[in-house]
A and B are shown apart, each in its own frame.
Chain A
Amino acid sequence: MTVFDIAEFFGLETRAGKDHLDEEVTGGYVSDLLSDVIAHSRKGNVWMTIQTHPNIVAVATMKELAGIILTGGREPDPSTLQKAEEEGIPILVSSVFTFELAGRLYQKGIPGLSPC
């Protein structure tokens, strides 16, 4: 599944990075602690968070994530959108809360990270 497929299937709205939705998603990660995401997310993951500030784009860029999903109806800060466009990182939003959305993605075959 690509980021585009996920957006379509789960009814997510794309707020940034419309030209970068074709990356194949390798899995999902959920956390609101940035260093935790840096430590445990994997390249090509979609990251679900309620953080909306521009540093989430920096983390996604560093880790080469496929995209960021803001859950629970959160909207990215204007400066976050600007940075996401500059870096080519998709930002999607959903009114669904994190646990529910993660469950839906998992059910559809987006894997989590097995304990290592």
Chain B
Amino acid sequence: MVEADENIGLREMFYIEGGNFANAGATSSRVKKILKEIGFPGKIIRRTAIAAFEAEMNVICYANQGNLSLFITPSFLKVVVKDEGIGIPDVNLAMQEGYSTADERIRELGFGAGMGLSNIKRNTDEMILTSQPGQGTHLEFIVYLNEQAKE
């Protein structure tokens, strides 16, 4: 994972309330609008916004509260999502597509298909997920602004 860049142009932090399905998507919508206003390419915006949406939904579904921070640097976009919640006992298992611990209520809303984390991985260039069961989860992902920056 890339270290914090000194040239960070923008860092915004958003609070996410666990269990508030009515407001779901609000944070990732704001992320998308910020990136759009700055004028990043559509694909970069879509990938980042989709990953942010899935991360936001995870906080809403499984945590008491959390926050999402957006870092914008000249070479990459970085999103950090920290939450206080039940955590993930087995991160490798959680990363498997289709694995889910979602309850009936979450599934009725069309969430909890076990695809969120793999959607994040698919749409980002780097992703780190760590968790302390019973305490919370820490997710970071990066989307590079150009192909060369991946090297």
A residues whose Cβ falls under 8 Å from a Cβ of B: 32-36, 38-39, 43, 49, 51, 53-59, 61-64, 79, 87
Q: How far is the CA of A87 from the CA of B25 in the complex (A)?
A: 12
Q: Does B82 touch A at the CB level, under 8 Å?
A: no
Residues of chain B with a CB closer than 8 A to A62's CB = 25, 28-29, 32, 46, 49-50, 53
Q: Which secondary structure characterizes the binding site on chain A?
A: helix
**Cα separation A56 to B22 with both chains bound (whole Å):** 11
Q: Tell me which residues across on chain A come within 8 A of B22, comparing CB atoms.
A: 54, 79
B residues 109-134 near A (Cβ < 8 Å) are 109-111, 113-116, 118-119, 122
Q: How far is the CB of B33 from chain A (nearest CB, A)?
A: 10
Interface size on B, residues (CB 8 A): 23
Chain B residues with Cβ below 8 Å from A53 are 21, 109
Q: Which chain A positions have C-beta within 8 A of B116?
A: 35
Instruction: Count contacts between A and B, CB distance < 8 Å.
Output: 68
Q: Are A33 and B113 in contact (CB under 8 A)?
A: yes
Establish whether residues B25 and A35, one from each chain, have CB atoms under 8 Å apart when the complex forms: no
Report the minimal beta-carbon distance from B46 to chain A, rounded to whole angstroms. Answer: 7
Q: Contact at A55–B115, with CB atoms within 8 Å?
A: no
A38-B25 in contact (CB<8A): no
Q: Is B24 an interface residue (CB 8 A)?
A: yes
On chain A, the residues within 8 Å of B83 by CB distance are: none
State whether the Cβ of B54 lies closer than 8 Å to any Cβ in chain A: yes
The interface residues of chain A lying within 8 Å CB-to-CB of B122 are 39
Cα of A64 to Cα of B22 in the assembled complex, Å: 20
Q: Given A58-B53, A62-B53, A63-B46, decide whether A39 and B119 contact each other with a Cβ distance below 8 A.
A: yes
Complex Cα spacing A64 to B45, Å: 11
Contact of A32 among B25, B29, B54, B110 (CB under 8 A): B110
Q: List 14 A-B contacts (CB under 8 A).
A: A34-B113, A36-B115, A38-B115, A39-B119, A51-B110, A54-B22, A54-B24, A55-B110, A57-B25, A59-B25, A62-B46, A62-B49, A63-B46, A64-B46
